[in-house]
């Protein structure tokens, strides 16, 4: 049996260029340019976290599986001891028994391994902008037409979308949450504290803050935290505000539900699987900041509504377990690795 490699792209990489440096100086963005090219700070990425989880679960199932780092970014902010490999050590000459799993936002990454079984792992709706990432000769092609043998998605929602828009058959390996890490601590919860992630449509997050200025909520906006730090923030928050869209199967909402937050905001499409408006969450149409403000008005003096949403959200989140993810992985790799 071969080895399964999850390809970790060189995220946050931006080449230094003297022309662009000159433009940055001219536009008074010199410090910003240096931060993005020279003093780069690597940050956690949810999709990379899931790839590490897959490797860990596959090892538990008896497979040889490793993250294969393609550059300087390792993405291991989550204390996963999975035996990271580097492309400089492994090389591209894998065998027909090996498997490479490439993220959808780097569609050429897996195609560099000529002999290996090639799997495209789609965790977002970047297929909307698929042609913008392709060479001229590949425009209009879907992932299998480009050379991938299989496509997996992090949700059934994405399977349906890819079949509808790209004529691609794919397999759902739904994301799960580690409930041994993500769990409520009601004793530390701060009433009316709203937690949000700054990278998810920051302009709309700022607008929601302005619309809710007269309400008695405290906004706490974070970015770039380790998993342990983020869990602590979830546990202290009363409400989690989701502002990302479109989404494949957004993990932050599920993580927040598991930590006892009332989840509100945008589902991004993929969140519709578990963000059931008025039952497990309070949902506004994607981009509808006024709708979110109306939700906050409803919640401000309604403790019973918060308690009801919190309880049902916590129960719903239990359906998204790592054990379910592991069983889906087992079935998929048993099928493709004879």
What is the share, in percent, of the chain residues with pLDDT greater than 90? 77
| Interstrand relation of 282-283 and 262-265 (parallel, antiparallel or unpaired) | parallel
Task: Decide if pLDDT at 41 tops 70.
Answer: no
Model confidence at 212, pLDDT cuts 50, 70, 90, reads very high
Distance CA 13, CA 167 (A): 32
| Encoded tokens for 178 | 């580690």
Distance, in Å, from the CA atom of 300 to the CA atom of 65, rounded to the nearest integer, reads: 48
- Fold match flag (3-176+323-336 vs 186-317): yes
Average the pLDDT over 297-322 and give the result. 96
Exposure class string for 35-65: b at 16+ Cβ within 10 A, else e? ebbeeeeeebbbbbbbbbbbbbbbbeeebeb
Q: Closest Cα partner for 258 from 338, 200, 176?
A: 176
- The residue written with tokens 């004529």 in the block is 167
CB-CB contact of 152 with 332 (8 Å): yes
Nearest to 257 by CA among 277, 236, 281: 281
| Statement: residue 40 has pLDDT above 70 | no
Q: pLDDT tens, 83-107?
A: 999 999 999 999 999 999 999 988 8
First to last CA, the chain: 8
Confidence tier at 20 by pLDDT (50, 70, 90): low
- What is the SS3 assignment for 221? strand
Cα–Cα distance measured from residue 7 to residue 22, given in angstroms and rounded to the nearest whole number: 34
Per-domain boundaries in the chain:
3-176+323-336, 186-317
pLDDT at 199: 86
Angstrom distance (rounded) from CA 80 to CA 210? 39
Task: Write down the pLDDT at residue 77.
Answer: 75
| Residues 214-227, mean pLDDT to the nearest whole number | 92
Flag whether pLDDT at 47 surpasses 80.
yes
For residue 31, the SS3 value is helix
Report whether pLDDT(13) > 80: no
User: Is 60 exceeded by the pLDDT of residue 35?
Assistant: no
Fold of 3-176+323-336: Rossmann fold (3.40.50)
**Which pTM was predicted?**
0.84
pLDDT tens digits, 108-142: 999 999 999 999 999 988 777 777 778 999 999 99
- Sheet containing 85-86: give its strands across: 85-86, 64-69, 3-8, 99-103, 117-122, 150-153, 171-172
Write out the two tokens for 282: 């309070």
H helix runs in 82-182, sequence order: 87-90, 143-146, 156-166
pLDDT at 147 over 80: yes
Q: Which CATH architecture has domain 186-317?
A: 3-Layer(aba) Sandwich (3.40)
pLDDT (average), residues 223-237: 93
pLDDT at 243 over 70: yes
Q: Convert 158-175 to b/e letters by CB count within 10 Å (16 or more is b).
A: bbebbeeebebebbbbbb
Mean pLDDT of 328-338: 94
Residue 174, pLDDT score: 95
Per residue in 59-81, pLDDT tens?
A: 999 999 999 999 988 888 777 88
């Amino acid at each position: 049996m071969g080895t399964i490699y999850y390809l970790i792209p060189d995220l946050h990489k931006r080449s230094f260029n003297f022309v662009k440096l000159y433009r940055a100086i001219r536009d008074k963005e010199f410090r910003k340019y240096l931060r993005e090219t020279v003093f780069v700070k690597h940050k956690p990425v949810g999709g990379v976290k899931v790839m590490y989880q897959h490797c860990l679960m596959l090892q538990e199932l008896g497979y040889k599986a490793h993250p294969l780092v393609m550059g300087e970014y390792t993405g291991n902010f989550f204390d996963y001891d999975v035996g990271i490999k580097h492309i400089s050590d492994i090389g591209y000459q894998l065998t027909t028994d090996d498997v490479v799993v490439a993220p959808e936002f780097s569609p050429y990454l897996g195609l560099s391994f000529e002999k290996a079984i090639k799997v495209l792992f789609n965790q977002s709706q970047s297929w909307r902008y698929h042609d913008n990432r392709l060479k001229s000769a590949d425009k209009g092609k879907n992932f299998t037409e480009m050379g991938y043998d299989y496509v997996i998605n992090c949700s059934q929602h994405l399977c349906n979308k890819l079949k509808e828009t790209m004529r691609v058959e794919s397999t759902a390996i739904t994301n799960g949450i580690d409930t041994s890490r993500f769990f409520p601590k009601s004793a530390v919860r701060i009433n009316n504290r709203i937690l949000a992630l700054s990278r998810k449509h920051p302009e709309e997050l700022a607008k929601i803050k302005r619309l809710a200025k007269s309400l008695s909520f405290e906004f706490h906006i974070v970015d770039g935290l380790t998993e342990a730090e983020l869990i602590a923030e979830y546990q202290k928050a009363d409400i989690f505000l989701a502002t990302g869209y479109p989404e494949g199967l957004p993990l932050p909402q599920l993580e927040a539900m598991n930590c006892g937050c009332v989840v509100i905001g945008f589902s991004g499409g993929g969140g519709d699987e578990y963000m059931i408006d008025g039952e497990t969450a309070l949902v506004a149409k994607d981009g509808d900041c006024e709708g979110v403000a109306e939700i906050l008005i409803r919640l401000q003096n309604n403790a019973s509504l918060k308690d009801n949403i919190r309880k049902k959200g916590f129960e719903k989140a239990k359906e998204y377990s790592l054990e379910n993810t592991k069983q889906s992985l087992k079935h998929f790799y048993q099928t493709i690795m004879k």
